[in-house]
Amino acid sequence: MKKYTILIFSLILLSCSNDPNGLITHLNGYWEIDEVIMPDGSKREYTYNDTVDYFSISDSLTGFRKKLKPSFDGTYTTSDDSEDLKLKIENDSLHIYYTTPFANWKETVLDATEERLFIINDQKIKYLYKRFEPIIVEKSNSTSADR
């Protein structure tokens, strides 16, 4: 637990000195929630996620976020739902503006590296993501006679 507190504090400090443009290159890809920090400081750690967030961002700083459910064979299942997004740099911060048919909202990227993503939303809830590493279970072709 102490390790996460130090990590989060370090991320916050680093985010103050990060060029928001440099954060953009790390957003694309598969992310799973590692920890959520509520506005009152309480935390919830995630040891297992049955869904991951997939971010796809083009050179025009537009794209989408989609929830995916990974399978053990390396494939993903998903619905047709996705959240359109647009990145904007405002006041030296990187913001993600989301749009769906039902709502619009904004999140701020506090830090982004190849392995970690740290975001805060308008309700002051902070999400610490880690890069998703799929677990692929391969079928064995051997039979009991081969052993």
Is 142 inside a domain boundary?
no
| Domain count across the chain | 1
Is 105 inside a domain boundary?
yes
With beta carbons less than 8 A apart as the criterion, state whether 52 and 32 touch: yes
Q: What is the CATH number of the domain that holds 83?
A: 2.40.128.280
Is 84 inside a domain boundary?
yes
Q: Which domain holds residue 55?
A: 2-135
The per-residue pLDDT for range 36-58, each reduced to its tens digit, is 999 999 999 998 888 899 999 99
Is 145 inside a domain boundary?
no
Is 128 inside a domain boundary?
yes
Sign of the Cα torsion 125, 48, 78, 70 reads positive
| pLDDT tens, the chain, 147 aa long | 555 555 555 555 554 445 899 999 999 999 999 999 999 999 999 988 888 999 999 999 999 999 988 777 767 677 778 999 999 999 999 999 999 999 999 999 999 999 999 999 999 999 999 998 766 666 666 555 555
Is 60 inside a domain boundary?
yes
